[in-house]
């Protein structure tokens, strides 16, 4: 789908990112893939990727780790500047928590109707989900419902289909960590952008032990964002 860009923020990725990239080029060969190296310790994986990324695919590099929100915003800015005629962007994690079938599913939804912010909703099989993920997501969902009257099952999903018209509002925000994704949900409601959840596979590898999510700090930031009044 040449009208859809794919954005992958990456911090200290392993070979799974290479596999994901290969699968994406097979499943969505016309979609440009933008990868943001958010100050990773090693550039081994990215050197391999560089050989696999002929234009229009690109790797954007942060000289130091700035956080997932900052990585997403760098990608959004690049897409706004270079793909102003596209319909939007699919964001996905670099660790194979999102399969190509589900990424394609959200891309098709955005291709067909760019009025919505689409979320890849997990937790259809909670037996596969680590307790901390269930607890964190349930807490955020309840707070969003209580504070903002929003009914969202999977508030922390990294698989999203975002219309281009919404990106300019997201890059203006100062959040640089995981709370940025929560902010985007609240901002969508403020702008009357409808949110639609699309069921996806629930995939957690090794109980998500490689996640860069810091439970105490990031949960605090997410809760603070929910109670903060978005302008």
pLDDT at 133: 59
- 134/71: higher pLDDT: 71
> Contact 179/73 with Cβ under 8 angstroms?
no
Share of the chain above pLDDT 90, in %: 66
pLDDT digits (tens, 9 = 90+) for 63-116: 999 999 999 999 999 999 999 999 999 999 998 889 999 999 999 999 999 999
Tell me the three-class secondary structure of 114-183, residue by residue. CCCEEEEECCCCHHHCCHHHHHHHHHHHHHHHHHHCCCCCCCCCCCEEEEHHHHHHHCCCCCCCCHHHHH
Helices (H) and strands (E) in the chain, counts: 8, 7
Whether residue 20 is predicted with pLDDT greater than 60 in this model: the reply is: yes
CATH topology of domain 4-227: Spore Coat Polysaccharide Biosynthesis Protein SpsA; Chain A (3.90.550)
pLDDT digits (tens, 9 = 90+) for 161-203: 999 999 999 998 887 777 889 999 999 999 999 999 999 987 6
Cα 18 to Cα 67, 78, 147, 178, 190, distances in angstroms: 21, 22, 40, 23, 37
Write down the pTM of the prediction.
Answer: 0.88
Q: Tokens at residue 78, please?
A: 């690049």
pLDDT at 75: 97
Please state the rounded mean pLDDT for residues 12-32: 94
Contacting residues for 132 by C-beta, under 8 A, at least 6 apart: 215
């Amino acid at each position: 789908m040449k009208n859809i860009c794919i954005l992958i923020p990456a911090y200290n990725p392993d070979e799974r990112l290479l596999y994901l990239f290969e699968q994406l080029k097979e499943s969505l060969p016309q979609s440009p893939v933008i990868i943001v190296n958010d100050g990773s310790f090693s550039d081994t994986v990215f050197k391999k990727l560089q050989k696999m990324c002929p234009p229009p695919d690109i790797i954007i590099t942060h000289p130091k780790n700035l956080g997932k929100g900052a990585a997403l915003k760098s990608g959004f800015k690049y897409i706004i500047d270079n793909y102003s005629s596209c319909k939007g962007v699919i964001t996905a994690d670099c660790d194979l928590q999102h399969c190509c079938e589900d990424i394609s599913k959200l891309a098709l939804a955005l291709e067909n109707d760019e009025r919505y912010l689409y979320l890849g909703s997990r937790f259809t099989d909670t037996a596969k989900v680590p307790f901390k993920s269930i607890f964190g997501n349930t807490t955020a969902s309840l707070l969003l419902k209580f504070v903002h009257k929003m009914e969202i099952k999977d508030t922390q999903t990294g698989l999203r289909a975002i219309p281009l018209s919404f990106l300019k509002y997201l890059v203006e925000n100062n959040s640089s960590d995981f709370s940025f994704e929560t902010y985007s949900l609240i901002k969508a409601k403020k702008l009357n952008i409808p949110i639609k959840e699309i069921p996806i596979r629930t995939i957690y590898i090794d109980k998500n032990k490689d996640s860069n999510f810091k439970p105490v700090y990031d949960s605090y930031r997410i809760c603070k964002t929910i109670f903060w009044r978005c302008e």
